[in-house]
Amino acid sequence: MNFATRVLHGTSCFDPVTGASSVPIYQASTFHQADLDRPGTFDYARSGNPTRQALEEAIAGLEGGERGFAFASGMAAISSVFMLFSAGDQVIVAEDVYGGTFRFLTKVLSRMGISVTFVDATRLEDIRAAITPATKGIYLETPSNPMLKVTDLAAVSQIGKERGLLVIVDNTFLTPYYQRPLELGADIVIHSATKFIGGHSDVLAGLAVTRDAVLGEQLYFIQNGMGAILGAQDCWLVMRGLKTLKARLDVSTQTADRIARWLSAHPAVSRVYYTGLADHPGHHFQESQASGHGAVLSFDVGSRERAKALFDRVKLPIVAVSLGAVETILSYPAAMSHASMPVAEREQRGITDGLIRLSAGLEDADDLIQDLEQALSALPPIAAAGQTSKEAFSRV
């Protein structure tokens, strides 16, 4: 079955009891037990809820994994998966990881005795060199946020397999429609389903899928034990979003591709990062391991002042934190998604004060380009800028 069909007719597409075309929302916290000797499938909703189970089965099926899990947010999924490790363990993490993940790893998990080594995951030799006897896992984002660097998933998974390490991939940017890391050898896939999978800027959610049942049992224990689960209503909203995932991504990716090409030729833009551009360093890996380039691109306008001028002038995109929505969203990584990263770390990763991230939505591409053009054409000259402002406005 092809993806477009599977997303609608895979698992859990209708209610087995009534035949309802939409899975019902079980807003129940507990389930009556008919008999002490024969416990029912569901007992307490933290441990399992039929609506949540439908979503968990759906994402497991789409990612080609054994078991799926729904969490209260992408960060709840990430923090729960990291609880698979114990004090004394070391984890190798892609260096331009999402700022919220960076914050959790360096400010919370580090106090629990888990050490993290950040590497440029696009360089396999750097990953190999970082492995010590204490290493237990490798954590990747590809393409990365916001620099769109591409990691060779099959090769890193191979290293993981050789050295007995868990390979965990945040697949938020591409979704299983374009990339299925488990099929490339990874062990766990994570999503901030708040983004493309939910797709409507109306639900916070995290998902995880494990490759095998043993890992699935371990993660289930943590999901139930720590309790960072997703509520029934939110599970239903994510499933509703999932039904249009393919249709939305087809349009958004096409628009992102057009905008990326147009920005590349624009004199007011110094650099464009999009894996669909042939001169992007990860272009070929991306073509070999994913079936699309996704709807997120970043571009550099040279300075904070110029970025601010652009944000003030655009009319269509929402200026906000987040991505992967029906609405086009412009973000400013230096002060939003990566505000929790020290300035030196941030700039070393290429996240400059002029960098802007664009997540293409479903608006008409011509309308978006026209809006960006009127904003870019009015920017002050690049030379006028340069000083770094430390003013931050968001703690997200």
Active site residues: 46, 98, 170, 195
Residue 145 burial (C-beta neighbours within 10 Å; 0-12, 13-18, 19+) = buried
Site residues (CB under 8 A) for other proteins, limited to 278-307: 304, 307
Q: Which of 7, 59, 156, 203 binds other proteins (CB under 8 A)?
A: 203
Q: Which of 23, 83, 94, 190 binds other proteins (CB under 8 A)?
A: 83
Is the peptide bond prior to 24 cis by the omega test (within 30 degrees of 0)? no
**Which residues, 6 or more positions from 210, have their beta carbon under 8 angstroms from its beta carbon?**
65, 66, 67, 69, 187, 188, 216, 219
Q: Which helix (H) or strand (E) holds 254?
A: helix 245-264
225/380 with CB nearer other proteins: 225
Site residues (CB under 8 A) for other proteins, limited to 303-332: 304, 307-308, 311-312, 318-322, 325, 329, 332
Site residues (CB under 8 A) for other proteins, limited to 213-232: 221-222, 225-231
Q: Is 75 in the site for other proteins (CB under 8 A)?
A: yes
DSSP conformational letter for 394: -
Q: Is 378 in the site for other proteins (CB under 8 A)?
A: no
Q: Is 234 in the site for other proteins (CB under 8 A)?
A: yes
Q: Residue count at the site for other proteins (CB under 8 A)?
A: 75
Under a CB-based contact definition with an 8 Å cutoff, are residues 249 and 196 in contact? yes
Q: Is 98 in the site for other proteins (CB under 8 A)?
A: no
Q: Which of 48, 74, 176, 294 binds other proteins (CB under 8 A)?
A: 74
The contact pattern for other proteins, residues 54-73, with x = CB under 8 A and - = no contact, is: -----------------xxx
Provide the residue type at 138 as one letter. Answer: I
Please report how close the Cβ of residue 246 comes to other proteins at its closest, in angstroms: 21
Under a CB-based contact definition with an 8 Å cutoff, are residues 206 and 75 in contact? yes
8/226 with CB nearer other proteins: 226
For 181-229, the DSSP string reads: GGGGT-SEEEEETTTTTT-SS----EEEEESSHHHHHHHHHHHHHH--B
